[in-house]
Structure 1
Amino acid sequence: MEPFSAWMQAKGPDADIVLSSRIRLARNLKDMVFPNRLTDDVAEKMLHQVEQAVNDLSRTWQMHFERLDHLSPIDRQVLVEKHLISPAFIEEPVKYRAIAIDERESISIMVNEEDHLRIQILLSGLQLEEAWTVANQLDDALERRLDYAYDSHSGYLTACPTNIGTAMRASVMVHLPALVLTRQASQVFTTLAQIGMVVRGLYGEGSDAIGNIFQISNQVSLGLSEEEFIHNLATVTQQIVGRERHARQYLQHNAGVMLADRVERAWGLLTHAHIMTSEEALRLLSEVKLGQDLGLLPKTKSTFTQLTLFTRPGFLQSQAGHELNAQERDQIRAQFLRERLREEVQSV
């Protein structure tokens, strides 16, 4: 498993604020019950069909198929931390679940999550249309090998009614520290809810918005085409980016000393602390990134997303090669950040 996924490179339009763009398609196979009702023999048959389809595509798409129960619990957690699979996907039992991932870790397919297939494309920056192009091509290639459950009136049939229709969820992961600091975020999110958008935390549904990171996506997938959903979300995201930039300018002009003090204190803690929780690390890294984006702090070679991955529990244990208790993780996390940030600034 590679340390970083390609989408973590912070490249692409507005990548300083839009950390990633994601297109997710839910698909189910015809004449098979949904995953929560699959019997062992049917689940095995379905897994075999999907594995064959992925293997047929492996030369073109460079994808690798892996059963989840063949991966260690730590490796599964790292996949969640990279946003390649959902937190719910690694909940026991994981038998008859599998994951297909391409070499760049921009494409992932969850097999037997809520639906038989969850096809996901992740790109850096605001690249929803580009992600949809890839998702559509991959979906077509899979559909030529698998018989999807589809109704001419309702669209793609899914386990959850909110996914029926296009069965597409388009989302962006955005970093909005200035909107939070100026207390505009709640107003923005209320407006989004009124126009059919949903705001979630760092790891999607049910997760907290740690480090001023939010996921924004369409609420339903019925009534519009995929292109219309994507256009609407892209337009909304551009407006949010504009508001975040304006809020940053406001802070610089009206609270410059306070802002400089805040981001430099965050830098000081990250480069000197000996114990640090994952939540504190994310909060401080968020403030350091704001300082870097505004030219108040030196840049580092590692991107914000890469640094946040380094602080996550699963990744720390993966690098250590064994399980760590909470206190060990807090010490190793602090040591890593202390050494990494100092080294990267000195070598810039």
Structure 2
Amino acid sequence: MTPPLKTFDDLVGRASPWLDGSGPHADLVVSTRVRLARNLAAVPFTHRARDEQLQGVFASVTGAADRTAAFGDALTLRMNELSALDRQILVERHLVSHELSDGVRPRGIVIGGEERLSLMVNEEDHLRLQAMASGFQLAEAWRVADGADDELDRALDFAFSEEIGYLTSCPTNTGTGLRASVLIHLPALVLLQEIHKVLKSIMQVGLNVRGLYGEHSDVMGNLFQISNQTTLGQGERDSIESLERVTRQVLETEERARERLTRDARVQTEDKVWRAYGLLRYCRAVSSQEVINLCSAVRLGVSLALPGLCPLPVVNELLVLTQPGHLQRHYGGELTPPERNVFRAQLVRERLAAAERNGGPEPPP
């Protein structure tokens, strides 16, 4: 059993569980997330509330969370008590948004003991409840989020309209307040230049496509975040089922594209994979974006069962551990961008070498 989180050091000292590659279809889907937006009935929305009102929201929400089973062993952090580097680490771990991480107003986060469940306080809405899972697990992530929401609902008075549903700061979240998403890896469709057609079809059925870090982020490493868009006039289960149905279709399309790659361009595909692995294994300076893009090729090779590559969890963890915040925390101080590139390369080499020592498959002939 994972020990409870007691300090920020406990959090950064272990890998996020949604990176462990244990969930269904983990070779295609990195993670699943379900987020619920809620507000307290008697308090103005965050952008209209005074700081003393937001202090009251923080006290009410964290107090209610402490009394739930879902957050019984949680770690509570106030943004204004964290350094800029530590706040950046929370963004890199997909625990908080850039807006919450600004550290200016009374904001914070409650993180469940296994980091699978978290609660942002005083972001765009008073509460942003989030459940994360490894691989493709929409139903499970929804079950966890829904259970925690029910517990909080018994302790807090949420702003709710019988006609509209849950009231939120942004009208695009009003109704269910639900945002469900999957972070999916689609390298074969990109290599075969079929990705734009697939993304167009996704958006035509009312779903959103974003980058690695969600809204306003770029697509890197052939990683796409697909999420529901409709929250008004459609129930939570309908939204979850719609996203699950479309995601399965995308997965099948990507699998067929991978089959074509191995059938028609095996040598070129394996060459791309091994060039990427070689660069990661022996590089002396590398940027975070380079790591993400190189890991995409290695991840494809792992899913194709090419012998001699590192395990999937190692590839996943590099996506986070090589980001600037985690990197500098590991180093123990601030680094300039060129210094980060050198230290990042060292960390990647060490991680891959350790994976080879710890029972990885023999190198290919």
TM-score, normalized by the shorter chain, greater than 0.5: yes
* 2:70–2:112 CA contact under 8 A, matched in 1: no
Matched, 1:249 2:259: yes
Matched, 1:288 2:318: no
- How far did 1:59 drift? 7.8
* 1:35–1:116 CA contact under 8 A, matched in 2: yes
Q: 1:165-202: per-residue Cα shift (whole Å, max 9, x none)?
A: 11101100011111111111111110111100000000
The ranges of structure 1 where at least 4 consecutive aligned residues each deviate by more than 4 angstroms after the TM superposition are none
1:35 is matched with 46
1:323 is matched with 334
Specify the SS of the correspondent of 2:282.
Answer: coil
Matched, 1:129 2:129: no
2:270 is matched with 260
Letter aligned with residue 42 of structure 2: D
**Aligned to 1:345, which of 356, 359, 362?**
356
**In 1: Cα distance, 2:21 partner to 2:106 partner:** 35
Q: Which structure 2 segments of 5+ residues have no match?
A: 1-10, 360-365
Q: Report the CA distance shift for 1:304/1:324 in structure 2 as closer, same or farther (over 3 A).
A: same
**In 1: Cα distance, 2:70 partner to 2:222 partner:** 39
TM-score w.r.t. length of structure 2: 0.92
1:63 is matched with 74
Q: Report the CA distance shift for 1:328/1:297 in structure 2 as closer, same or farther (over 3 A).
A: farther
1:14 is matched with 25
* 2:29–2:135 CA contact under 8 A, matched in 1: yes
Letter aligned with residue 85 of structure 1: V
Q: 1:57-89: per-residue Cα shift (whole Å, max 9, x none)?
A: 268642222211112211111111111111222
Q: Report the CA distance shift for 1:83/1:60 in structure 2 as closer, same or farther (over 3 A).
A: closer
2:308 is matched with 298
**In 2: Cα distance, 1:37 partner to 1:320 partner:** 40
1:208 is matched with 218
Q: Which structure 1 segments of 5+ residues have no match?
A: none
* 2:32–2:135 CA contact under 8 A, matched in 1: yes
**Aligned to 1:84, which of 72, 91, 95?**
95
Specify the SS of the correspondent of 2:310.
Answer: coil
* 1:165–1:221 CA contact under 8 A, matched in 2: yes
Specify the SS of the correspondent of 1:303.
Answer: helix
TM-score w.r.t. length of structure 1: 0.97
* 1:57–1:63 CA contact under 8 A, matched in 2: no
Q: 1:102-147: per-residue Cα shift (whole Å, max 9, x none)?
A: 1110011110110000000000111111111111110011011110
Specify the SS of the correspondent of 1:22.
Answer: strand
* 1:292–1:299 CA contact under 8 A, matched in 2: yes
Q: Once superposed, what is the RMSD of the aligned Cα atoms?
A: 1.3
Letter aligned with residue 80 of structure 1: V
Aligned length: 347
**In 1: Cα distance, 2:59 partner to 2:235 partner:** 32
Letter aligned with residue 242 of structure 1: E
* 2:168–2:174 CA contact under 8 A, matched in 1: yes
Matched, 1:169 2:169: no
1:165-244 map, 5 Å:
165-244=175-254
* 1:264–1:297 CA contact under 8 A, matched in 2: no
**In 1: Cα distance, 2:307 partner to 2:323 partner:** 23
**In 2: Cα distance, 1:82 partner to 1:190 partner:** 29
